[in-house]
Amino acid sequence: MLEMTREEFEELVAEALDRIPPELTRLMDNVAVFVEDEPPAADPELLGLYEGTPLTERGEWYAGVLPDRITVYRGPTLRMCDTREDVVAETEVTVVHEIAHHFGIDDARLHALGYG
């Protein structure tokens, strides 16, 4: 397995977030991004997870709620990648994938766009 500290991985996630076009990041609302070492035991190969209410489903009722949560998992990413460059690329795909869920884009569309 490729070795990378949590701090290094968090930096890659931050860099992936920085590469999101500003016109999209300005539209992101009430969402926080986290890094965890491992996903839930029920899905040990999960690379990322979006939890919340997509922007496309928010209505007048949407107020005073906790932020949506995007989590990127370090362990499975490092286990599936052979090089640091692979980790950089996979982290970027995962970040884009989870942000897309925040915008209401489903897995089928993401797979069609190459972010599966």
42-97 confidence digits (pLDDT tens): 999 999 999 999 999 999 998 899 999 999 999 999 999 999 999 999 999 999 99
Q: Where are the domains of the chain?
A: 6-52+69-113
Q: Which residues contact 19 (CB under 8 A, 6 or more apart)?
A: 92
Half-sphere exposure of 3 (CA within 13 A, CB side): 0
The fold adopted by the segment(s) 6-52+69-113 is Zincin-like (3.30.2010)
Q: Where are the alpha helices (DSSP H) in the chain?
A: 6-18, 22-25, 74-80, 84-102, 107-112
Q: Record the pTM.
A: 0.92
| ∠ Cα 105 59 48 (to 5°) | 35
What pLDDT does 113 receive?
Answer: 85
CA-to-CA distance for 64 and 91, rounded, in angstroms? 31
